[in-house]
Amino acid sequence: MNIHFDERLDGELTVIDKAEVLADLQNASPDLILLHREEDLHPFECDGLAAYRVLPMLVAMPETFEQVQTLLKRCHHLGVPVVTRGAGTGLSGGALPLEKGVLLVMSRFSKILGVDPDARLARVQPGVRNLAISEAAAPYGLYYAPDPSSQIACSIGGNVAENAGGVHCLKYGLTVHNVMRLDILTIEGEPMTLGSEALDAPGFDLLALMNGSEGMLGVVTEITVKLLPKPETAKVLMASFDDVEKAGRAVGDIIAAGIIPGGLEMMDNLAIRAAEDFIRAGYPVDAEAILLCELDGVEEDVNDDCATVRRVLEAAGATDIQQARDDAERAKFWAGRKNAFPAVGRMSPDYYCMDGTIPRRELPRVLKGIAALSEESGLRVANVFHAGDGNMHPLILFDANQEGELELAEDVGGKILELCVAAGGSITGEHGVGREKINQMCSQFKPDELTVFHALKAAFDPKRLLNPGKNIPTLARCAEFGAMHVHNNELPHPELPRF
């Protein structure tokens, strides 16, 4: 089913003349940069989910807190929706504009406001790139732990909105575990501080709620993150397997041995070949699967753990085990993994990246299911997997120029996510729901649960002006979606209107 914003299903938006909104905002905030000509809007018509494009009504590029505040107050008054965008690297269409909405681009908020090495905190603006924080902290021997693959480009504001992860989540957590404090503006333009530089704050944990809320509860204007001391050393082992299931079991064996690796990644043969062809990381192209296991910490412990992991991998049937000899080789091993997406992109005109999570024990079953879907559809699927924390990234290869292939890829993707839900997992581990997975939310949550989500939204934004249509589907949308998944001839939600 189509994911385009449909006012019949997703809720009506205010009908308002673009010229009127433009004049109102220019009048209220004369120095605010506002883009309104079609040719200026085009660069903002999509985020990292490029298959979906919508021209926003206007693009606002504020530079000051006051400009954001004024913009929100005016939009709230006019009833105009606001979609907030960071670096635009998101993969789920979370920053997909609305024709009838203002796109609030926060990329000019790009200052690092302070690094306090003794408190191990950094205060940054939301447009600061993820990697820039670690670079600023590096002179003190500190770094910011979450490292999504897009870390050279993605902004910390977007990381907060999506609760971004990365390859080191199992040990170091997601964004929510590493953010101490957020300064936000509500849709009414009220400033609010959530969390604190201390380790807790009085009242409800709104800080936790804001992480991963996809720009639907407030607009982040400043972020304080926790910095960690850089591990003394990091070593990586690469194990080859002649069977994907054996590799999957080895992952559980490592954890069962009481070891929490800094990173534990798996790639299947198609992903290995793509990465090797692109990066020359030294991957074994004949292996059915490889595991990359990074152990970090104090030198002596890491050496002990490397020996343990090597024994575990041998016992699990690895056909070859290599340990990176030095940091250069370690970086090369990781470069293959971190560039797996663009590498796969070179093999096919288009690819569609999924983000389901599963309990690790379900891996063999879900991989079989994916293989069956691939065969049935004729579309190739490469598997890249944050194995340590059960987060899969199947990449579905297709050609959008071929009639019907995008729809076919979406259909396969949707079915993969439903496989994950059926296995006790989730439709998204780190990329977010955005617009992309809006229909699959209906599979993961019951109407009563979605109703609680809508209640949370209503507490912050009763007029539904912040990023409407993302993250949480309306019950009407789920009824429509459910109608296409009729079981036993029983129509779900018979009480709801259908279109």
Partner 1 sequence: MTNTNQPLPHAPDMTEQDNAETLCEQVRQAYRERSPLRIVGGDTRAFYGRAVEGRALSTLEHRGIVHYDPVELVVSVRAGTRLSDLEAALAHHNQMLPFEPPRFGEASTIGGAVATGLSGPRRPWAGAVRDFVLGTRVITQEGKLLRFGGEVMKNVAGYDFSRLMAGAQGTLGVLSEISFKVLPRPNATHSLRLTMPIDEALKKLAELGRKPLPITAAAWHDGGLHLRLEGGQSSVKATHERLGGDSLDASFWQELRDHSLSFFQGTGDKALWRLSLPPNSGTLALPGVQENEVLYDWGGSQRWVKTSVDAETLRRLCQEAGGHATCYTAHQNGGAIEPFTPLNPVVAKYHRNLKRELDTYAIFNPGRLYAEF
Q: Is 473 helix (H, G, I), strand (E, B) or coil?
A: coil
- Shortest approach of partner 1 to residue 377 CB, angstroms? 24
- Please state, in angstroms and rounded to a whole number, the distance separating the CA atoms of residues 217 and 73: 15
- Shortest approach of partner 1 to residue 122 CB, angstroms? 13
The DSSP annotation for 39-55 comes to HHHGGGS--S-TT----
Token representation of residue 411: 């259909």
- Please state, in angstroms and rounded to a whole number, the distance separating the CA atoms of residues 71 and 28: 8
- Shortest approach of partner 1 to residue 347 CB, angstroms? 27
357 vs 374, which CB is nearer to partner 1? 357
Q: What is the largest CA-CA distance in the chain?
A: 71
207 vs 239, which CB is nearer to partner 1? 207
70 vs 193, which CB is nearer to partner 1? 193
62 vs 425, which CB is nearer to partner 1? 425
- Shortest approach of partner 1 to residue 450 CB, angstroms? 8
Q: Is 458 helix (H, G, I), strand (E, B) or coil?
A: helix
- Shortest approach of partner 1 to residue 276 CB, angstroms? 27
405 vs 436, which CB is nearer to partner 1? 436
Q: Is 394 helix (H, G, I), strand (E, B) or coil?
A: strand
25 within 8 A of 74, measured Cβ to Cβ: yes
In terms of Cα–Cα distance, which of 243, 266, 242 is closest to 254?
266
- Please state, in angstroms and rounded to a whole number, the distance separating the CA atoms of residues 450 and 441: 9
- Shortest approach of partner 1 to residue 298 CB, angstroms? 4
Torsion (CA) 90, 94, 97, 100 in degrees, nearest 10: -170
Q: Is 285 helix (H, G, I), strand (E, B) or coil?
A: coil
Token representation of residue 357: 């999570």
Size (the chain), residues: 499
Quickly count: other Cβ atoms within 10 Å of residue 99's Cβ: 12
Kindly give the residue spans of alpha helices, DSSP state H, lying in 7-123.
7-10, 18-28, 38-41, 65-78
- Please state, in angstroms and rounded to a whole number, the distance separating the CA atoms of residues 170 and 389: 6
269 vs 323, which CB is nearer to partner 1? 323
- Quickly count helices (H) and strands (E) in the chain: 18, 18
- Shortest approach of partner 1 to residue 21 CB, angstroms? 26
- Shortest approach of partner 1 to residue 479 CB, angstroms? 18
- Shortest approach of partner 1 to residue 336 CB, angstroms? 22
204 vs 489, which CB is nearer to partner 1? 204
- Please state, in angstroms and rounded to a whole number, the distance separating the CA atoms of residues 74 and 375: 52
Token representation of residue 100: 């009838």
191 vs 345, which CB is nearer to partner 1? 191
56 vs 165, which CB is nearer to partner 1? 165
53 vs 361, which CB is nearer to partner 1? 361
100 vs 246, which CB is nearer to partner 1? 246
- Shortest approach of partner 1 to residue 381 CB, angstroms? 20
Question: 405-422 and 363-377 are packed helices; what angle lies between their axes, rounded to 10 degrees?
Answer: 160
- Shortest approach of partner 1 to residue 471 CB, angstroms? 7
113 vs 298, which CB is nearer to partner 1? 298
- Shortest approach of partner 1 to residue 301 CB, angstroms? 3
- Strands 58-61 and 102-105: what pairing? parallel
Q: Which element (helix H / strand E) includes 183?
A: strand 179-185
The DSSP annotation for 217-261 comes to S-EEEEEEEE-EEPPSEEEEEEEEESSHHHHHHHHHHHHHTT---
